[in-house]
């Protein structure tokens, strides 16, 4: 019995050692950047803000929607593999050292007297659709939710999403991609 187990073990080793196959395809070339310890340096990312966004009611779908075409706001090439993060401006909060902007990562839910509504979005490499969906007659929704909205859009290479970064933390995202608040382009649709 002992010899049978040894033979089986040797056969298994020979079988696994002799296996060969395609190594797979080469990955996308990286972008040269500053050396760093977080492994995220050199990532091509872009952040921009769109203020004055108005949603239109679509009765057939019982939701509000608007479309933002990327090349209207950026000259940055968007790839199908890129990730898009969208943050909605929730106003200012007062901190001990002064006011600060308050941003919420979409999807974002609200509970109103009529029911529940949610900001959400869908995107491809050309444009993105922003939606306000809900579980009630959306035609009754206040203009406070549908008109003059302010969004921050972050475009990241798809590889970035494998990091352990908290994407709901706007400051952490901006720090990881080396973008400071002052350099963010702001586009007004008003």
Per-residue pLDDT tens over the stretch 155-176: 988 777 666 778 888 888 898 8
* H or E stretch at 172: helix 170-176
> What is the structure's pLDDT at 159?
73
Provide the token pair at 1. Answer: 């019995």
**Residues 90, 103: contact at Cβ < 8 Å?**
yes
Spell out where 5-164 has E strands.
46-53, 56-58, 63-69, 83-95, 98-105, 108-112, 115-123, 127-134, 149-156
pLDDT above 70 for 71: yes
DSSP 31: P
For 18-64, write each residue's pLDDT tens digit: 555 555 445 444 444 444 444 444 447 889 999 999 999 999 999 99
What confidence category does residue 1 fall into, taking pLDDT thresholds of 50, 70 and 90? Answer: low
């Amino acid at each position: 019995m002992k010899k049978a187990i040894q033979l089986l073990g040797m056969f298994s080793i020979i079988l696994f050692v002799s296996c060969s196959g395609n190594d797979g395809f080469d990955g996308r070339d990286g972008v040269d950047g500053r050396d760093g310890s977080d492994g995220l340096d050199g990532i091509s990312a872009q952040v921009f803000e769109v203020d004055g966004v108005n949603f239109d009611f679509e009765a057939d779908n019982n939701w509000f929607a608007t479309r933002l075409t990327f090349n209207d706001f950026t000259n940055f090439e968007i790839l199908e593999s890129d990730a898009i993060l969208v943050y909605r401006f929730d106003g200012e909060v007062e901190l001990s050292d002064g006011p600060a902007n308050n941003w919420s990562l979409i999807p974002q839910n609200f509970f109103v007297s009529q029911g529940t509504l949610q900001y959400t979005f869908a995107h491809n490499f050309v444009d993105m659709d922003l939606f306000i969906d809900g579980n009630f007659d959306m035609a009754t929704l206040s203009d406070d939710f549908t008109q003059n909205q302010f969004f921050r859009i972050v475009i990241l290479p798809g590889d970035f999403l494998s990091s352990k970064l908290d994407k709901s933390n706007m400051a952490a995202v901006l720090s990881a991609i080396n973008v400071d608040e002052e350099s963010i382009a702001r586009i007004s649709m008003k």
